[in-house]
Structure formats: C-alpha cells, structure tokens
Structure 1
Amino acid sequence: MSSWRHRLFATGLSAISATRADQWLRPLAMGSGVILMFHHVRPWHDRPFAPNRFLEITPEFLDATVTFLKREGFDIIPMDDVPDRLRSTRSHKPFAVLTFDDGYRDNLAYAWPVLKRLQVPWTLFVVNDFANGRGRLWWLELEMAIRQLDRVEVTLGNERLIFVTKTTAQKYVAFDTLHRRLKAGPEEQLRAMIAELSERVGIDPERLVQNLCANWDELAGLANDPDVTIGSHTLTHPIMARHESSVAASEILESKAAIAKRLGRPVRHIAYPHGDPGSAGSREFSLARQSGYETAVTTRPGHLFARHSDLLTALPRLSINGLHQNEAALRALLSGVPFMMLRMIGRGAGA
C-alpha cells in the first residue's frame, strides 16, 4: 500500500474515532463477525526504509488485539466454525477469526505463545514452496534490493525505468511504482525482474525463504496443537488471475492434497495469494468450491454478514495493519463503519 493511501487510511480512522462513529454506527455496520488477517508477528527493529511494514505487527499488539476482542464481547472461533455461524438464525455475540498468511517462522516463535497463553484458536495458511524452502518472497526481495541500491534501472516490456534511490523518499517512490506496475503485469515479467534485481545485489531467494518460513517439521509440531488449523495458501503463491485455469486449479487442488499428506490433517480452508480483485475472482472462487474447500478467504476488506453463507469461497478479511498499531484504529476497523461508508460511497457513485 502506497504512503499516500496509508495517510488517507489513517485520516479516515482518526475521523471515525474523533466523531465516535465507531460506537453509534456499530450496530448497523458490524455484521455477524470478522476474519482478521496477519502476516509477520515479531519485535520491531526500526529502519527508515520499510515499505512492507504494514505486514508486520509486534507480539505486544497481537496480545492487545486479542484482549480487545475479548473485552468487546467477540467470540474468537476457529475457521471450521465460520459456515455454521453464518448460517445460524440464533442470536450470537459477534465472532472473530484469527488468520496468518504465508507460514512465517515468527508466527511460531512469537504469535503461538501469545495465542496459547490467551487460549484462542487460530489458522495458519501455508505455501507449499515456502515450507519446502524454495519459492520467491518477491515483495521482500524488492525491498531489500532497493534498500541497497542508489540507482535502479529495469525494463518492463519496451519501457526502460530509471530511479535514483539515494534517499529514503526516493526509495519509497521506486518501491511503490515498481510494486504497482509489477503486480499489474504478467507474473513472468515480475519474477524475471525481481530475479535480476536480487542477483544484482547478491540476494539468495531460497535462503531468504528458509530463514523466514517454517519448514514441514516445524509445521508438523504446530499442527499437533488442537487450537491450530492449517490451511492452504497454494503451491507457489502466484497471482492466480494472471494464469490459465489449469494452473489456478493445480495451485488450489494440489496444495490441499500435499499439505494434508505432509501433516496428516485435512485441509478445509484456503487463502488466495494477494487476494485482491485483480488477483483472485469468480474463477478462483468456483475452483476452491469444486476442490472441496469449506471456506476461502480474500484480502477484500469487510465484515461478514448472513449473506456470506452463500459466498463461503469469497470471504472478506480485515488486515491488521502494522502502521496503525493502536486501539483507536482497531476499534474503528472492528466497528465496520469504514466499510459501511465505502459501500455508501460506492452506491452513490453508481447512482
């Protein structure tokens, strides 16, 4: 997410908090529950250039988030219980589900102890390649390369892009531009360009994956915890909408079977990589349903309502953003008010 979007997001959350809209509109906006999305959980090491900072929270904020959920009356439930809660006609407290993407080792080192102490269930979505010690954490490679370079020159299609990256501000411009352009284009181009940049500065992509992601032995130990659900995050973490249907089907179905074989537990849930409308859509939702998943989650923001019982392979999530680790932001997000306002704006724009 670009810096200006972060600032706009922060301004909106502050306005909701200042007007107390998160309290008086909550009954209309909250819905039945929420699925929260996390990535890294680890102590923060300050650094001036950290464009992926929004994917990282501290163990203390994870503790504060769960404590807040409990204090606000949320039932924290496993992913397995979501379909029944959405279909239920009984009056329930709102529910929350805790999900973690990519299978980072810090989830085991820092998140697991917090969640075990607080006695709450959670779900880890695993990428087969990452657990095998290979694949590309390309968004991290891009950050690392730009951090080291004073000048970035790349070719995208027929266009030569040149960035001076001596200052932190210049590095952010280069990262935001390249990240946006790469995600919008062919994945082959993305991976080729990232590989070129990584080779230029001496990044070993497999070592990066092995250092950051849990391996199968570690995941097997985690899977023995009855409060932990292991889900799929596909075989290779692709932008599936950029690929043929056969590739998307393989990523969704074969990852399900491979994880189940490795860990000896059924795999009932999947998180689409990237998960935005440009990365996963109706084709992927249908493939997940046909592959036997009970639920599938996106990164499209929003709360869950009864209507989502008919959309179980297209569920929205709320990203817990590392740039906004405070109770006011958390309260606004969990109220559902930001998303109700976006829906109202969208209807107005279409009128």
Structure 2
Amino acid sequence: MLILNYHRIGEPGDSLFDRNLWSASAEDFDRQIEFLSKNFELIGLSDLEHSLSQPLGRFVMVTFDDGYRDNFSIAFPILKSHGVSATFFISTGFIDRPSVPWWDELAWMTRTTSIGSLPANEWLPSSVSLSQLDRERAFGRFLAVYKSLGNELTGMYLDFLADALGTGRCPASLATDLWMTWDMLREMQAGGMTFGGHSVTHPILANQMADQQDWEVGECQRRLVAELGGPIDAFSYPNGKPESFNEFTRAALRAHGFRWAFAHAGGFCQPESFDRWALRRSPVESDIDLSQFRATATLPQIFSEC
C-alpha cells in the first residue's frame, strides 16, 4: 500500500511563507488524481484494516496535513470531480484561532529581513549568511534549530530571531484566510472527505513532556469530535520524522482510543510488516513531474524514498 502525503496545492509564487509546503500545482494535482483513480484502488481510513491484510492489491491512500485553506478551495473540488476521497489531518488550534505557524513565521522572518548576515549567537554556533542567494539555506538552519528545541524554548527562540533579524514577529493579520474553517471542513465531510488529528499547535511532540503530548493529542481529538462528530481514531505526527514522536506519543494515542498513526518517513506499507503507530507515507513534492509521480505510484519499492 502506498500512502501519499500532501500539504498545500497551488502555486507558491513569491510567497513569504514556506514554499516547500506546496506539494503540487492545481493542474499537476488534477493529473495525479486522475492517474490514480484510473489505475489503483483508492482507499480511505475505513478501508485500512482490510487493505493492510491483503497480500496482493494496488492500494493508494491520499492524505493531507495541517489544514491550509487551499485544501478546500483547490484540492477538494479536484478530488470531488474524480470521485476520490482523501483524509485530512487537522491541527485544530489553527482552525479555532488562526495564526501564522512557526515554520511559516521563520520563512517570513528570513525573507523580510534587511540584514546581510546574522553573527554566531547562543542559538546558532556559526554566522548565517542572509544574502538573497543564501536565504533558503538560512531558513533551513533556522528551522533545524527550532525543531531541536524543547517546548519551553521555542517562543524565546522566535523572539530572539525577530529582534536579531529586525523583522519583529510575523503580523497575525497574515493568517487571515490561511486556514480552513469548521464550516469548510463540514462541507468537505459531507462531500466524502475524512479527517484525523494532527495536534493542536503543531509542536515537535517528542520535544514535549508526556503530559503536554497527552494534551495535544486529546484536545485535538476533542475539538474534531465536537465539530465533526466521531469517531476520530487516526493521527498524523507533526513533522512526522522518526525523531518527532516517541513512546509517550504512542501511549497518548492509545490512551485516547486512536487506532492508527501516520509518519512522514517515506516508503510504503507492506501487509506483513507495517507498524500501525507509524504508517509510512510518501511525500509528494512540487518538483516531480507526472512521469516521476507515475513511477513512484506504480513501483513504490523502487522509487519511493524510505
């Protein structure tokens, strides 16, 4: 089974946010879904148990993370036009209280600063070039530091960069129309889409204490059930790499009655050896063309990165 992972659909253009989040243009996404619908058995959450018990089959599952509004305005109409259901993993805090997420804020700071370099400091052991040619690399360094920090330090780090880069914190007004609304999610649900949890604030869960992780998992589920009904028994780990979750995360999922958890580690799922608490997903990136996409879907054991 191949589980595909998307984030945003459309064209990043000159967006000041994280352009790596765009998985495909609308045209490319339409072509990808058309190809999948004609050549594979597309499954949803309710089909997982059965599909993973089958030794043979051409099963593909389409998933999205986070809850960006283009999922509703662009992806949803395309999915409907092909009669395809997808699963959307939602960070509920962004739906309840729209704000610019930390990865987009780091990208915004990097793109809007007017300084040419950042000297070595308590967070970054060597200087960071901020020339126009080096800004993507600088963003990568800022992002890596954030992902390594405990929950109690992330706000301090963002405040430090805001001051050091001379940008201030990203204006909350930039989150207007960034996220879907509960009404949009309900419309998608009525149109055959399904939903799972993706935490409340999208932290790196493994960097949190056990009780913080339990709250992120449980409160996310509570809000989804309150707004969309239940059950909500599938979860996608924020960031999704193996180092992003741990035994406390898994314990929290079990305690709240989840049955499935999805990672972002690449590869595919084999019936005899899958881990229901870390189902592998293959990320879809905007730099792959349709022929590469077809190859990955058809021969994931060769072309899907593990």
Aligned letter for 2:197?
S
TM-score scaled by length of structure 1? 0.78
Residue-by-residue CA offset, 1:287-346 (whole Å, 9 max, x unaligned): 32332112110101111111355x21210101001122x02321332212347886xxxx
State the secondary structure of the residue aligned to 1:201: coil
How far, CA to CA, are the matches of 2:143 and 2:176 in structure 1?
Answer: 23
Aligned letter for 2:188?
L
The answer on 1:312 being equivalent to 2:276 is yes
- Give the equivalent residue in structure 2 for 1:328: 291
- Give the equivalent residue in structure 2 for 1:7: none
- Give the equivalent residue in structure 2 for 1:207: 173
The answer on 1:252 being equivalent to 2:220 is no
Q: Retained in 1: the 8 A contact 2:95–2:181?
A: yes
Q: Retained in 2: the 8 A contact 1:75–1:94?
A: yes
Unaligned 5+ segments in structure 2 are none
Aligned letter for 1:287?
A
The answer on 1:38 being equivalent to 2:1 is no
Aligned letter for 2:103?
W
Task: State the shift of 1:236 in Å.
Answer: 1.1
How far, CA to CA, are the matches of 2:188 and 2:79 in structure 1?
Answer: 12
Q: Retained in 1: the 8 A contact 2:268–2:301?
A: no
How far, CA to CA, are the matches of 2:135 and 2:52 in structure 1?
Answer: 44
- Give the equivalent residue in structure 1 for 2:20: 53
Which stretches of structure 1, 4 residues or longer, exceed 6 Å deviation after superposition?
none
State the secondary structure of the residue aligned to 1:270: strand
Task: State the shift of 1:182 in Å.
Answer: 2.3
The one of the two structures with greater contact order (alpha-carbon pairs below 8 A, sep at least 6) is 1
State the secondary structure of the residue aligned to 1:87: coil
TM-score scaled by length of structure 2? 0.88
State the secondary structure of the residue aligned to 2:235: strand
How far, CA to CA, are the matches of 2:206 and 2:259 in structure 1?
Answer: 21
Q: Retained in 1: the 8 A contact 2:2–2:268?
A: yes
Q: Retained in 2: the 8 A contact 1:301–1:339?
A: no
Distance 1:209 1:161, change over 3 A: farther
Percent identical pairs in the alignment equals: 25
How far, CA to CA, are the matches of 1:307 and 1:117 in structure 2?
Answer: 34
Task: State the shift of 1:173 in Å.
Answer: 2.4
For 1:174-213, list aligned pairs within 5 A: 174-198=138-162, 200-204=166-170, 206-213=172-179
- Give the equivalent residue in structure 2 for 1:29: none
How far, CA to CA, are the matches of 2:305 and 2:181 in structure 1?
Answer: 42
State the secondary structure of the residue aligned to 2:267: coil
State the secondary structure of the residue aligned to 1:321: coil
How far, CA to CA, are the matches of 2:198 and 2:304 in structure 1?
Answer: 28
Unaligned 5+ segments in structure 1 are 1-32, 343-351
Distance 1:251 1:303, change over 3 A: same
Structure 1 or 2: more helix by fraction: 1
- Give the equivalent residue in structure 1 for 2:29: 62
The answer on 1:280 being equivalent to 2:245 is yes
Q: Retained in 1: the 8 A contact 2:217–2:253?
A: yes
- Number of paired residues? 302
